[in-house]
Chains A and B, each alone.
Chain A
Amino acid sequence: MRFLLLFLLLETVGFALVVGQYRYHHSVLHSVAGDMFYSISSTLNGWTRFFSLTSENERLMRENAQLRELMSVDDKHDELLIPYVKTTTNSGVPYSYIPARVVKNSTRMLKNYIVLNRGAKDGVKVDDAVVTDSSVVGMIVDVSQHFSVCRSILHTDSYVSARFMGNDYHGSVVWNGKDRERVAMQDVSRVASIAVGDTVITDSRSSLLPEGLMVGTVESFSVPESDFYDITLRLNEDYEAIHNVYIIRYAHRDELKQMLEYGKEDR
């Protein structure tokens, strides 16, 4: 009986810790063990990065080429640029970029977080977006002095507004926790014409993400009884293998957010 009580007590403590994990990015990031862990992780990552240098170099070179192209911008060239660069230059929207490296990355949990090696000291703030050179990665949810935690798109609570590149039909992208290479796109009206292989990009309705970041391509879809499609997207990025990312912030974010909130209280 005594032992049953002790057992229940320990399970309760464990459960409390699990519930705390829903705010886990706080507890981990700010604990001493967390700090120690990330410095060990940083070193280990240094070694693993060495082995992926070739592919990372290639990727950065590709990006460099695109940026050079951008510098010599004329209208014809503009067409060739990857969508998000195009959006940012055409509309002249000011985004600030902070390059960052992945310290720790998980893709196997249901709630995946990515720890980055930039923190408050580098100007990172909560709700900043995290992207690779062309794809959306996630959103910053917590910041410490030297590190920040990004909630990956592979997180069952993640929610990204997206639309098709070809037309303006939009929906929201969510992850069902099953397959790290695929996500579901919901709330796409059945009047939309879509085809397998269509590209899905981020939508301007999001106040946090710039428009035009690649999310994935349509792999399959069905038309159920309801008014909305069931769409499966194949992600553009292999999130297991990301190393270099950018933390970006829309300069007028807070202002836009305020405007988007407008009138909500009246409802």
Chain B
Amino acid sequence: MERKIGKAIVVGVMIMVLQIAVLDNIAIWGYATPYIYVLLLFLLPYSTSMGWLLLEGFLIGLVIDVFLSTGGLNAMACTLVVYVRNHLVTHLLGVPEKELDTFSPLLSTDVKPVAMMVVFMLLVLMHHIVLYSMEAMSIYLLPGALLHAVINTVITSVCSIIVVVLIAPNKRRRL
């Protein structure tokens, strides 16, 4: 169990470093940047109480903000993602609330991978909408920001799925 937690933390830190040092410098078509660290928010333990979950999400976003010098944009987006995450998992994926404690996206066999992906993309979309609309901070620039969010959601999702295939336990390679 402890080894498992250790491994999860190492993978988490690696993803953050990857995000800050490498992915932030990528701009596909000079425009889209994969934010694969959103994956971490989706994978954070489902047994954690909501209070801690919110703090964890906020802190992950804040770390990204400090290194990418984006104020509190990522912190805001991450807090929203972790706040709605469990609701989406119980309502859209049909995981009973009692079983949420033992739910793990990488190990679950009850949920269809496609459904899991859709929920993940929804979370990414919310993250990006907050990120880009708060960055624009003007009604005039809002349509552009929303378009940016949608395009970036596709990029982030594709990259995240690649990462999942790489880190998922061998038995079940799926999101």
Contact = CB atoms under 8 A, between A and B. Distances in A.
Interface of A: 2-3, 6-7, 10-11, 13-21, 24, 27-28, 31, 33-34, 37, 44, 107-111, 156, 177-178, 180-181, 240
A11 B144 contact: no
Interface stretch (B66-74, B88-96, B116-124, B158-166): B66-74
Nearest to B59: A10
A10 B65 contact: no
Contact of B76 (A15, A20, A34): A15
Given A7-B83, A14-B73, A109-B135, 12 more contacts: A7-B54, A11-B79, A13-B75, A18-B72, A18-B73, A18-B137, A20-B72, A21-B70, A24-B71, A44-B21, A107-B27, A178-B144
3 smallest beta-carbon distances between A and B, as pairs = A17-B72, A21-B71, A14-B76
A13 B72 contact: yes
Contact of B71 (A3, A18, A33, A156): A18
Contact of B54 (A3, A34, A156, A181): A3
Contacts of B40: none
11 contacts: A2-B51, A6-B50, A7-B80, A10-B55, A17-B62, A17-B75, A28-B69, A31-B66, A37-B67, A44-B21, A110-B136
B141 interface: yes
| Dominant SS among interface residues on chain A | helix
User: Is the interface on chain B under 10, 10 to 19, 20 to 34, or 35 or more residues?
Assistant: 20 to 34
B61 interface: yes
Interface of B: 21, 27, 30-31, 33, 50-51, 54-55, 58, 61-62, 65-67, 69-73, 75-76, 79-80, 83, 134-137, 141, 144
A57 to B, nearest CB: 23
A108 B55 CA distance: 29
A166 to B, nearest CB: 31
A11 B79 CA distance: 7
Given A14-B76, A110-B136, A110-B141, A24 B51 contact: no
A205 to B, nearest CB: 26
B30 A240 contact: yes
B134 A18 contact: yes
A14 B141 contact: no
A177 B141 contact: yes
Contacts of A110: 135-136, 141
A20 B62 CA distance: 14
A21 B161 CA distance: 32
Contact of A20 (B61, B71, B134, B141): B71
Contacts of B144: 177-178
Nearest to B144: A178
**Which of A18, A28, A107 has most chain B Cβ within 10 Å?**
A18
B118 to A, nearest CB: 23
